[in-house]
């Protein structure tokens, strides 16, 4: 019998590792059920879910050119149609209020809640675009201010301007 992707088969667990379980299908063909394909919930230890010799129903999810067969136990379980199409049972995520790393509480900038996909802010008044020269001069001014601030802070920690220790 040829093993094709999407078919459901029964097999016997012949080996358990920390990353999954090996399942013997028919005719000495063995496939691997990865730990992420054992159950819908988080699986910390395969031994909590499967034992050697267990007979399980698996679904073939991939067959590699070199003969490796990927199997899934959780995809082999038929779920009710309403549960499969229903949205997740998680509560909706709260809306962002800004204040993150990009300073979302500043007016007209930062937080993703007041920007469209292009990165433009909705509540910022339209300002003519700055030229490249304007941007470079603003960058130089800002960097010079930062450097002078850093120098002041480091000199005070070293004991002032050129103070010699005796």
- What tens digit of pLDDT does each residue of 71-94 get? 999 998 877 665 545 555 566 666
Tell me the residue ranges of DSSP E strands in the chain: 8-17, 20-24, 30-34, 55-63, 69-72
Q: Does residue 14 have a pLDDT over 60?
A: yes
Q: Is the pLDDT of residue 65 over 60?
A: yes
Task: Name which residue leads in pLDDT, 142 or 87.
Answer: 142
Q: What is the pLDDT of residue 107?
A: 54
Rounded CA-CA distance 63/32 in Å is: 11
6-15, 87-96, 105-114: range with highest mean pLDDT? 6-15
d(CA 110, CA 120): 10
pLDDT at 93: 67
- CA-nearest of 44, 47, 7, 43 to 25 is 7
In the chain the domains, ranked by start, together with CATH numbers, are: 8-72 (2.40.50.140)
C-alpha separations of 165 from 6, 125, 139, 151 in Å: 79, 55, 38, 20
Instruction: Say yes or no to pLDDT of 148 above 80.
Output: yes
State the chain's mean pLDDT as an integer: 78
């Amino acid at each position: 019998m040829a093993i094709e992707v999407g078919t459901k088969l029964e097999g016997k667990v012949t080996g358990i590792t920390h990353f999954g379980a090996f399942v013997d299908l028919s005719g000495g063909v063995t496939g691997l059920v990865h730990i992420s394909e054992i159950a819908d919930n988080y699986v910390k230890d395969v031994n909590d879910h499967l034992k050697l010799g267990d007979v399980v129903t698996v679904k073939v999810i991939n067959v590699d050119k070199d003969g490796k067969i990927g199997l899934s136990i959780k995809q082999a379980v038929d779920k009710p149609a309403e549960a499969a199409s229903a949205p997740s049972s998680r509560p909706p995520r709260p809306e962002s209020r800004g204040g993150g790393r990009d300073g979302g509480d500043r007016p007209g900038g930062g937080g993703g809640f007041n920007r469209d996909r292009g990165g433009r802010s909705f509540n910022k008044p339209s300002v003519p675009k700055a030229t490249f020269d304007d941007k470079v001069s603003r960058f130089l001014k800002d960097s010079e201010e930062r450097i002078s601030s850093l120098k002041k802070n480091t000199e005070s920690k070293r004991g002032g301007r050129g103070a010699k220790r005796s």
